[in-house]
Homo-oligomer: A and B are copies of this chain.
Amino acid sequence: MAHPKPPDTKEKLLNAAGEVFAEKGFRDATVAEICGRADANIAAVNYHFGGKEALYQQTWRHAFAQSIRTHPQDGGVERNAPPEERLRGRVKALVGRIVDENNRDFVIAQMEFANPTGLLAEVMESAMNPLRQKTRSLMRELLGPDATERQATHCEIFLLSMCFHPPLIQRARRRMKGIESPAVIDDLEMFTSNLITFALAGIAAVRDNARLNWDAGAGSTKAAEKAS
């Protein structure tokens, strides 16, 4: 039935496609360039994947899987470690994964968020949901029982924001080489360290507010709103 030793053209295409899509986005990437970088014929994409769109989806999946494999999500922290340590592990892993120069999936995901093609919606959702669920339950653990669902949502997005946004800015700065960059993340260890300090204190503060039954006391003192 012909399963000739895979000449890994498919693999080469996935890697080349990762590069090109990450550099130019879906629309500006050309199959010609992808095939060029993969040392493959121009027809290879259609033969192996059936078209540019299918290649795009499989490329993201491939890149994400590889990226997760390289940077295990728990950051090497035991499952039964205290939540603060587990958070530290996850953040280290996440930031490390994003800052990795070989990362493709995050870069592509950013483009997709800013200017969606719609092709990755399901793929990304299904791939990222499990990760987000874990972050969420960890956050609930740290926030304690008094925090509202909304507060948990906010803290979760605050944390992820601090992991996602700085690398984005860093990449952008590098591309516009005109500006000698102060380098947002010049020492990853120190960056994540400050990030954890900042985040744990932030979470604690929100938790303390919750314990006092304020929904984060602003100028307007609103009555408590317990989880839905």
In the complex, what distance in Å separates the CA atom of A223 from the CA atom of B104? Answer: 35
In the complex, what distance in Å separates the CA atom of A218 from the CA atom of B188? Answer: 11
* Contact between chains at B175 and A193 (CB < 8 Å): no
* Contact between chains at B114 and A184 (CB < 8 Å): no
**Interface residues as binary, A187-205 with B (CB distance below 8 Å gives 1, 0 otherwise):** 1011111111111111111
* Contact between chains at B215 and A190 (CB < 8 Å): yes
Ordered by A's residue number, 22 sampled pairs between the chains whose C-beta atoms are within 8 Å are A25-B114, A110-B113, A110-B114, A112-B172, A113-B172, A114-B115, A115-B115, A150-B186, A150-B190, A155-B198, A158-B162, A158-B166, A161-B166, A164-B165, A165-B165, A189-B220, A193-B215, A193-B216, A197-B209, A197-B216, A198-B206, A199-B202
Which of these, B114, B176, B197, B203, contacts A118 with CB under 8 Å? Answer: B176
Shortest A226–chain B CB gap in Å is 14
Q: A127 interface residue, CB < 8 Å from B?
A: no
Candidate in A160, A189, A203, A216 with the most chain B CB atoms within 10 angstroms = A216
In the complex, what residues of B have CB within 8 A of residue A125's CB? 179
In the complex, what residues of B have CB within 8 A of residue A157's CB? 162, 165-166, 169, 184
Shortest A125–chain B CB gap in Å is 7
In the complex, what distance in Å separates the CA atom of A199 from the CA atom of B158? Answer: 9
Q: Give 15 A-B pairs besides A113-B168, A162-B162, A198-B202 with Cβ atoms closer than 8 angstroms.
A: A25-B114, A113-B169, A125-B179, A153-B182, A153-B184, A157-B184, A161-B164, A189-B218, A189-B220, A190-B216, A190-B222, A193-B216, A194-B206, A196-B218, A198-B205
